[in-house]
Amino acid sequence: MDRRQFLATTGALSALGFAGCRGDPAGEGPTETAPGDAPGSEPAEGTPASAGDTTTPDRPSGIYVQTFREQMSMQGGAESGDYAFALMFTVPHTFWTVTGDEFSKTVIEDGDSLHLMATVWDPETRTVLPDTGLSVEVTRDGSLVSQEVIYPMLSQPMGFHYGGNFSLDGDGTYTATLSVGGTTVRRTGAFAGRFGDPASVEIPLEFTPATREEMASRPFDRGGEPGALRPMDASFPQSVLPAPENLPGTVRGEAMTDDARFVVTTLETPPAGVDGDDPYLAVSARTRYNGYVLPAMALDATLTRGGETVFEEALRRTLDPDLRYHYGGAVDGVEPGDELSLSVATVPQVARHEGYETAFRQPDDVSVTF
Amino acid sequence: MDPPDPSLPRREFAKAAVALGGPAGLAACLDRRDADPGPGTRQTGDLTTEDGSTSDATPDTVPTGDPASVPDRQHAWGEYVRRDEHGNALLPRHQVLLYLTLDGDGPPTGDERETVATAFHTLERAYAWRHDGLLHSVAYSPAYFDRFETPLPDSVDLPPPRALSDFEDPTFDTQDAVVHLASDRADVLLEAEEALVGEGDRANGVAVDAKLTDVATVDSRRTGFVGAGLPADNQNAAGIPDSEPVPEASPLFMGFEAGFRGNQATEDYVTFAEGPFAGGTTKTISNLRQRLDDWYGEQTFDERVAEMFSPSHAEQGLVEGIGDNLGDDSGIDRFIDDVPARAREAGRVGHAQKAARANRDEDGNVRLLRRHFESTDDIGSDQRVASLHFPSLQRGITAFEEVRRAMNGADITRATPAVRQRVNNGILEYIFVRRRGNFLVPPRRHRALPTPRPETSE
């Protein structure tokens, strides 16, 4: 199918449309061009329209509303072992991968057919699992078409997911085998002992004119403003963390830096799986607007009391059914007036879709007074 | 699969003939040799014989063998292969693995043992034990030894194969035995295979009186190649970008030399010193699918060096091109202390440095002798897909398992979120383990369907 034909078929909206944007819309107007039309990023003839392939000359620092709105084609779901999976795709995307503090733009390549996305969650608690490995093997009639380790990613409509651009071999029915690895992240509470084994599921992948009609990308004129598109309505769970008032323990306060929001809570006793019975300090890190989990950071914490340091450690990435994904550590007592200083040693090692590539890059040290 | 196109360049042709196998593969090879008695499977420059001379011609005659001169260790290949100028072993360019299932149930009979013994003895008479003749070995699986009531001695460390990472789910090779054939000459390799399991009634002029297929069935045939030129010539396979990025000089698809002499166990080290199988060793063989689009497409040369060797190798510019400048040692031992701290700084960890942490004994000796080679086999289909056959020899399978677990780098993923389960974590993003089997390589005197306690029960 050539691009003109494709663009002509993108009027139909799928059930996964978007509710609008949130955040303060009063920022300066966007200056971006429409997806796929940016200078130097013209998709090759014969490839579908692309998304997120725009330049970013005047983007604000921090999260901004992405410059396009899109639909996606939901392909299916399956469960295996401790895991539930969902598979969907949309038009090929530009995204930014992160290694340490280095950002690397992955551009859309000639021949990319789609941006494949998968999400993995615990079917019992509907907790999205954000810090493991995921690979996809795509076959057609038993023949290998592609196989890749795909990247953990953050996008405005999808939140946390695993994704990558794939090149398919024309229209047809493919089989996508999603394989999740066992996580090395600490698990606590009822999650102790779970999510340690790999599992795989096969989900049919229909790449046809009908499913392509479901994926679409249109320019969004409020793109570039501070804010973010709302999470999409979806049949699978979102990676939105609990509101502060719904976190367990005593919420001690919160801090924001570079549009990363840190909510601090303490538990009188640690969740099962953490040694000892000292109080437990948990930092729930999420995106400013949508409250999406910010996984895979190195976060150092210092607790001072009356000018004296009583705790100074790297918090551990931890997955808990109540606290969800957080950064935690056992502390030797918590008292009113304690000051907690948080320092991001490594920014979230999660690839960014448009609107997030300018955020959580250079967070300042922040503090919360209990 | 169709016979190879005679118009193919010689290295591609030889590889294609080996992949095809059978009478058709052999016939294609022989026709080509007759029509083109020049280079055959050889090429100038990389085929240095032991006396240092190079030859551009495949001789019409193949050196015959003398069973009396064949070493007792089936895995004694090192003295009989070519070496590069640094003394690194250059494994035979063409290789075949034949996975065999015995036809009968229970322990094999004396007649069956005699048949197998004769079949291998024939090969030894037919071909000189050297790279331009034939090197071969047969090894037996835990499932084979389960046919016997008596277990293997406790000293033999041969567990069944298992998954060795949190993210792999390989199919296990639990056939009874695996035969490994290797030669720099595709025609020799194919003729030997025909003699062992095919139609051939003569091997290099020697009458074939017994075949492995008299007592066993070939469950799986896998082929491959290694050495400068062959990966570049055969990179038109799924898993390798269309840009054909594999350097001509590279012995492997990933673009670097591997198996430097200083980073390999010696044959002496991996050999059982005592017990009924003294002179033997253990062998694991994995098959790894390679997906090198991002390896070559997303990574710079320095990033590939960092991920293959160590970030320090990249920062210090230690690797030029395919790494021939490293000589006989990758220098990895300088970079295996405090790997987590270096990974935290660099955001990456090297494959070699992770593995090397577990690949040294307390005296600093290397524990594994790796003999991997490339393939475009896609086990179970006719597709051309880049893959790696990874035989490794060691005193016990546990050593391999420990090195493989160290290569997973799970401790590094805990040390820094920049190194993820398979991303920025050595080469794990680009390899997918599909098969694994564990085997015992008995000494030559016990290679024919051994009992678990051959000295006492034979």
pLDDT in tens, A43-61: 333 334 455 544 444 667 8
Which chain B residues touch A152 with a CB distance below 8 Å? 420
Rounded-to-5 percentages of helix, strand, coil across chain A: 5, 45, 50
Which chain B residues touch A147 with a CB distance below 8 Å? 239, 289, 291, 432
Query: What is the band of B10 on the pLDDT scale with cuts at 50, 70, 90?
Result: confident
A133 touches chain B (CB under 8 A): yes
Residues 300-319 of A with CB under 8 A from B: 317
Instruction: Give residue B61's pLDDT.
Output: 87
CA dist B41 and A240 (Å) reads 61
* Nearest-CB residue to B291 (from A131, A133, A147): A147
Query: What is the band of B188 on the pLDDT scale with cuts at 50, 70, 90?
Result: very high
Instruction: Give residue A237's pLDDT.
Output: 94
| Distance set, CA A96 to CA A290, A351, B154 (Å) | 20, 5, 53
CA distance B443 to chain A (A): 38
Evaluate if residue B300 carries a pLDDT over 50.
yes
Q: Across residues A304-310, what is the average pLDDT?
A: 95
Q: A153, A352 in Cβ contact below 8 A?
A: yes
Q: B361, B432 in Cβ contact below 8 A?
A: no
Query: What is the band of B35 on the pLDDT scale with cuts at 50, 70, 90?
Result: low
Which tens digit of pLDDT belongs to each residue from B323-343? 999 999 999 999 999 999 999
Q: Which of A37-41, B153-157, B231-235, B259-263 has the lowest mean pLDDT?
A: A37-41
CA distance B339 to chain A (A): 16
Which chain A residues touch B423 with a CB distance below 8 Å? 133, 149, 151
**pTM summary value:** 0.89
Evaluate if residue B57 carries a pLDDT over 90.
no
* Nearest-CB residue to B420 (from A102, A104, A349): A349
Is B417 within 8 Å of A297 when comparing Cβ atoms?
yes
Q: Which of A2-11, A195-204, B115-124, B163-172 has the lowest mean pLDDT?
A: A2-11
* Nearest-CB residue to A184 (from B413, B428, B429): B413
pLDDT averaged over chain B?
Answer: 92
Which chain A residues touch B417 with a CB distance below 8 Å? 131, 295-298, 317, 346, 348-349
DSSP string, B380-436: TBS--B-EEEEEEEESSHHHHHHHHHHHHTHHHHHH-TTS-SSSSBTTGGGEEEEEE
Q: Where are the beta strands (DSSP E) in B176-215?
A: 177-183, 202-203, 206-207
Q: Across residues B69-86, what is the average pLDDT?
A: 97
Placement of tokens 């303490």 in the chain? A266
B261 exposure class (CB count in 10 Å sphere: 0-12, 13-18, 19+): middle
Is B417 within 8 Å of A296 when comparing Cβ atoms?
yes
Which tens digit of pLDDT belongs to each residue from A213-254? 888 888 998 899 999 999 998 889 999 999 999 999 999 999
Q: Across residues A251-270, what is the average pLDDT?
A: 97
Q: Across residues B397-418, what is the average pLDDT?
A: 97
Query: What is the band of A24 on the pLDDT scale with cuts at 50, 70, 90?
Result: very low
Tokens coding A28: 């300066």
Evaluate if residue A18 carries a pLDDT over 80.
no
CA distance A12 to chain B (A): 34
Tokens coding B129: 């034990």
Which chain A residues touch B344 with a CB distance below 8 Å? 298, 346
**Angle between the N-to-C axes of helices B339-346 and B351-358, in degrees from 0 to 180, rounded to the nearest 10:** 170
Is B417 within 8 Å of A149 when comparing Cβ atoms?
no
Query: What is the band of B217 on the pLDDT scale with cuts at 50, 70, 90?
Result: very high
Cα–Cα nearest to A343, from A280, A260, A223: A260
Evaluate if residue A21 carries a pLDDT over 50.
no
Which chain A residue lies closest to B240 (C-alpha atoms)?
A146
Query: What is the band of B370 on the pLDDT scale with cuts at 50, 70, 90?
Result: very high
CA dist B187 and B120 (Å) reads 18
Which chain B residue lies closest to A317 (C-alpha atoms)?
B414
CA dist A74 and A232 (Å) reads 12
Which chain B residue lies closest to A131 (C-alpha atoms)?
B420
pLDDT averaged over chain A?
Answer: 86
Q: Which residue has the higher pLDDT, B199 or B47?
A: B199
Evaluate if residue B302 carries a pLDDT over 90.
yes
**Angle between the N-to-C axes of helices B351-358 and B301-308, in degrees from 0 to 180, rounded to the nearest 10:** 10
